[in-house]
Amino acid sequence: MASPTRLVYDERLTAPRTWWLIAVLFGLSLALVFMPYGLIAALIALMIGTCLAGMYVSAQGSTRIRVTEDTLFVSDARIPLAALGQPEVLEGEEARAWRTYKADLRSFMVMRSFLPSAVRVEVVDPDDPTPYLYLASRTPERLAAALGRE
């Protein structure tokens, strides 16, 4: 029986609290639109609008990045650390550049508009056409340290 590998890094890319407030405000605005049709219609619009906006916000926070001793897990992807090169921490303008005009269409990118920092790590596996991974993160230094382990 194989022993479970130890978890080195774990991060969930959750949406900011203000996005949840915006979801509630969206539901309220939809209720105001339906208010002329009666209170029941406004309450239904409030519930449906808030639920739809909440599902969108929840979907934005559903991505998880985990690193074990030998594997990187991002969403549904499982990438062995042996296939990755040295990670590079990207902050501010450099992170924006790699999200926009420096981006390669073949790269694996996990971007979140509310996270200005990221980690970029080259894929060194010759059989993989993906040139690099771009992973948005709140703690890019910790993620880079976990990916750079030997």
pLDDT in tens, 74-100: 988 899 998 999 999 999 899 999 989
Q: Collapse the DSSP code of 23 into the 3-class scheme (helix H, G, I; strand E, B; otherwise coil) and give the result.
A: helix
98: Cβ–Cβ under 8 A, 6 or more apart, which residues?
A: 90, 118, 120, 134
Integer angstrom CA distances of residue 44 from 27, 35, 49, 64, 118: 10, 10, 8, 33, 40
25: Cβ–Cβ under 8 A, 6 or more apart, which residues?
A: none
The yes-or-no verdict on residue 3 having pLDDT over 70 is no
pLDDT in tens, 108-129: 999 988 889 999 999 998 888 9
